[in-house]
Structure 1
């Protein structure tokens, strides 16, 4: 994401990492801080409590815009509503988060794995 080009905003749709065990809380906060360090303009955190921690850390570290949503369909609809030409969108979570659904929805593909 640090090398993303396009002249638009950098948007990161980030879901929960489900396999981290005891390190989960700090790992999610770390990802939020990394988003700020890498110049992300908008973080959309998808999920529950761990995603909330990611979102809070991103905002505290300086990400200008942060949103929290409960599910992939809501994330896709939200991001789609504000996309502008040149924006770059990254989706990342553990496999269990199925964020490929967000990428599929944003690119007009059939959404799989429902």
Structure 2
């Protein structure tokens, strides 16, 4: 919802990790994120985990270009990949279950952006 309404951002990016402990609603809740991503016409949807396959399927089925979707089963390297796709003025939201440890993706992203702004000097 936030990314749909953000104004002035050059790009809108969602980095989304598996939602755990959903029980029988797991597939539908992941698909609902895919629907919302397509409706928001995100510039980049980055998915981390296994259950996010439903998010990817739904987003693409609802019209989000597959070229705007990146999915990985592992967190490692995601921060750097996102950093390579964004610039000042872009809006990025990182979200996922606590058990997915998305704060590690956020920290990797921060480090990659700092290294890039320092000319590669971290």
Please, what TM-score do these two structures have when normalized by structure 1? 0.84
Deviations 1:14-62 (A, max 9, x none): 11001100110111011111111223211111011x1111111112212
Q: Which runs of 5+ in 2 are unaligned?
A: 113-122
Question: Pick from 101, 107, 120: which aligns with 1:104?
Answer: 107
Given the alignment of the two structures, is residue 24 of structure 1 paired with residue 39 of structure 2, yes or no? Answer: no
CA contact (8 A) 1:5 1:88 kept: no
| Alignment partner, residue 117 of structure 2 | none
Give the superposed CA RMSD.
1.7
Distance 1:84 1:54, change over 3 A: same
* Most deviating of 69-78 and 27-36: 69-78
Secondary structure, aligned partner of 2:20: coil
User: Which 4+ runs in 1 deviate beyond 6 A?
Assistant: none
CA contact (8 A) 1:11 1:90 kept: yes
Q: How does 1:1-80 map to 2 (within 5 A)?
A: 1-48=3-50, 50-64=51-65, 65-80=68-83
- Paired positions, count: 108
Q: Which has the larger radius of gyration?
A: 2
Q: Which runs of 5+ in 1 are unaligned?
A: 110-114
| Alignment partner, residue 112 of structure 1 | none
